[in-house]
Every structure is written in C-alpha cells, then in structure tokens.
Structure 1
Amino acid sequence: MTDTVVPVVTRSAELGENTLQSGECVRKSGVSPQHTPAKKIWFGRVSNDPGHRSPPHHHEECETGGYVLKGHGRIYFGEDYRDFIDMYEGDFVFVPPYMPHVEVNMSTTEELVWLTCRTPDNLVTNLPEIPDEALEGYRRA
C-alpha cells in the first residue's frame, strides 16, 4: 500500500502559528511542512500592526515572494539598511536568499497584510537590532 497525498485545505481560522517569527511581524502559515504534506514551500499570511516593524533578519537559502493585500509596506535593505522599496496594495515583491532586511508597516493607523511564499520553508535568522532612527522615514504608532 502506498501513501496517497490529497489536497489539503487550511481554513482561515486554522492558520498555523507554529512557524518562525521575527519581532512584531506575525507569520501564519496556510501551506507549510509544519501542518500539510508540503515539503518545498511555505505560503502564509504576514501582518504588521500600525507602525510596527520586524527586527533585521534574513530567510537563509529561501527565495521569498510577497503580495500586498492591504496597506503600505516598506522593506529596508543594503548597507546599514539605507536602501528601501515601498509596496502598496496589489504589489508583488521578491526578496533574494540571505538578504538582510527589515519589514515595516509605514502606516501608523492601518494594518499591513500580505501573502508570502517561500521555498523551501519559512526559515528566519534574526540579526542584531538597529534603532528606529536608522530607518529613513519610519515612525512607530
């Protein structure tokens, strides 16, 4: 007898919380090795409360794709996190493997929500913290 793999639905109220996190970004998996038969993909919902951000981190060998569902996000990267890209509802973003970055909700009143897909899993390596003031244009709620 062989093991048969069938489609698996993760209901919105059952998103997996057993996934690596970085600071105030909340990652909940919909498809992942943690709770589905998936072996080479992590796909989930990421949210940041108004004005909140992640600490510096990278996702090891993972390629990361994101899609903004709601809000205004910014990803800081580069030397001393001086470079950044802004993202708005409907935008897609690609973050290369091992790229140190900080994910930020630029709104102080609205939640930032995006879908993220990563291969092979949601690997997170947190890096030394930096002060808010080092991030051009960022402010907390």
Structure 2
Amino acid sequence: MTDPHPDEPRWKHDGVRVIKGDQLDPNTAQTPGMFRQAAINHARVGAQKIWAGTVTIEPDAKTGVHHHGALESVIFVLRGKARMRWGERLEFVAEAGPGDFIFVPPYVPHQEINADPGAPLECVLVRSDNEAVVVNIPDIEPVEKPETVLWIDPIHRHPA
C-alpha cells in the first residue's frame, strides 16, 4: 500500500490513535477467572515499547506466583478490591481500591488476588514492553495459596 501523502511526515496522518472502549481486542493471553483485552500493542497500533489493556478478575480469583522479567507493570484499579502479595514467600501484602495505582517492579515475585468474594475486580494494565513475559515460580510456598482459580493458559503453565 502506498502512502497517500509521501511528501509529509508520517505522524501528521498516523500519529495519535484513539482506541474506543468498545473496540478492545480479546485476542490476548487469557486466564481462567480473568478476562484481558488489549487496547494498545504492536498488532493494533504499532506500539514498540508498551502494552496497555484491561483485565476483569472474577471474585476470589488468584494467580500463581510469578514475575514478569525485566518488565515494569502498572495496574490502575477501576472497580473492586485488589490484593497484591510479593516477596520470596509472598510475605508482603498491599491492597488497592478504585482510583489506586499499583506498580510492580521488574523481577518481583508476586501474586494478584481479587480480594472481594462477591464482586469482580476491574483494572487497567500497562506494561513496559509488548512481550508477554511471565516466569512462573512453582517452588515458592506462598503465604496465601491460589485457591479458586489457578493462572493456567498457554503462557502460564500449572505450577505442579
């Protein structure tokens, strides 16, 4: 396909993109009990260094212990109650509610939990790269084990 404006800088016609909330892409890694949708990634907008989207986490759902390698993650809580556990045995805990941001540094072993047994947790998720880096850590004995839902999909393998 030829550029209809070859004499102008590309950003003038292909610079800012608006992704409507009802046009998010569910064609991303999914986890039982969690529903992710991509808004910004390489496939959708050509992003080179960032991924952004939404996640809805069912009541009582928990991930297995994992980290995201060198990636940084930011989670913004829209609705619900998030609980994060982290550390060598997940001995640290923090909770976040609507309007709160959560920052997860590179290589930090952690577990995400919907702390409300009666309502979904809705968040916006931003990662510092397009790669879906997940390193499961099955040999950690967490303070609070995954119960209702384990994080299992083609990227996130069962910890056993």
Q: TM-score range by the shorter chain?
A: 0.7 to 0.9
After TM superposition, the runs of 4+ consecutive aligned structure 1 residues lying more than 4 A away are: 128-133, 138-141
- Give 1:102's aligned amino acid: Q
The structure number with the bigger radius of gyration is 2
The normalised TM-score by structure 2 is: 0.73
Structure 1: tracts of 5 or more residues without a match: none
Q: Do the aligned partners of 2:35 and 2:57 also contact (CA within 8 Å) in 1?
A: yes
Does residue 72 in structure 1 map to residue 117 in structure 2? no
Q: Give aligned-pair identity as a percent.
A: 27
Aligned with 1:91 (options 88, 100, 111) = 100
Which residue number corresponds to residue 62 of structure 1?
Answer: 71
Partner-residue secondary structure (3-state), 2:42: coil
Alignment of 1:89-128 (within 5 A): 89-121=98-130, 123-128=132-137
Check the 8 A contact 2:47/2:130 in 1, yes or no: no
Residues 74 and 103 in structure 2, CA contact (< 8 A), matched pair in contact too: yes
Higher strand proportion (structure 1 or 2): 1
Of 49, 55, 75, 2:58 maps to: 49
Gaps of 5+ in 2: 1-5, 150-160
RMSD: 2.8
TM-score w.r.t. structure 1 length? 0.82
| Contact 1:19-1:29 within 8 A present in 2 as well | yes
Write the distance in 2 (CA, Å) between the matches of 1:130 and 1:10.
40
Are the aligned partners of 2:57 and 2:122 in contact in 1 as well (CA < 8 Å)? yes
